[in-house]
Amino acid sequence: MERIALGDAPSTGVGASSDRRDLSEPLGATGVAINRYRLAPGDGFPGGLHAHADQEEVFVVREGEATFETLDGEVTVGAGEAVRFAPGEFHSGRNASGEPLVALAIGAPRETADVRLPVACSACDHSDLRLAGDAHSTLVCPACGGEYRPAPCPSCGCDDLRMTRSGGSTVAVCADCGAEFDRPPLRGE
Secondary structure in 3-state letters for 128-169 = CEEEECHHHCEEECCCCCCEEEECCCCCCCCCCEEEEEECCE
In a domain, 169, yes or no: yes
- The Cα–Cα gap between 35 and 59 comes to 10
The residue from 50, 73, 108 where one domain ends is 108
* pLDDT digit string, tens, across residues 128-181: 999 997 766 899 999 999 999 999 999 999 998 999 999 889 999 998 999 999
The residue from 71, 86, 108 where one domain ends is 108
Same domain, 39 and 100: yes
In a domain, 150, yes or no: yes
Same domain, 102 and 119: no
In a domain, 51, yes or no: yes
Same domain, 136 and 104: no
Q: Mean per-residue pLDDT for 82-86? A: 98
Same domain, 10 and 81: yes
* pLDDT digit string, tens, across residues 88-99: 999 999 999 999
Statement: residue 14 has pLDDT above 90 = no
Count other C-beta atoms under 10 Å from residue 182's C-beta: 9
In a domain, 1, yes or no: no
Same domain, 79 and 122: no
Domain extent, residue 75, equals 6-108
Mean pLDDT of the chain: 93
Write down the pTM of the prediction. 0.91
- The Cα–Cα gap between 37 and 108 comes to 17
Could you tell me how far CA 133 lies from the centroid of its own chain? 17
Number of residues written out for the chain: 189
CATH of the domain at 103: 2.60.120.10
Same domain, 32 and 77: yes
189 confidence band (pLDDT: 50, 70, 90): low
In a domain, 40, yes or no: yes
Same domain, 83 and 130: no
Q: In total, how many domains does the chain have?
A: 2
Same domain, 63 and 155: no
Q: What is the pLDDT, as a whole number, of residue 39?
A: 97
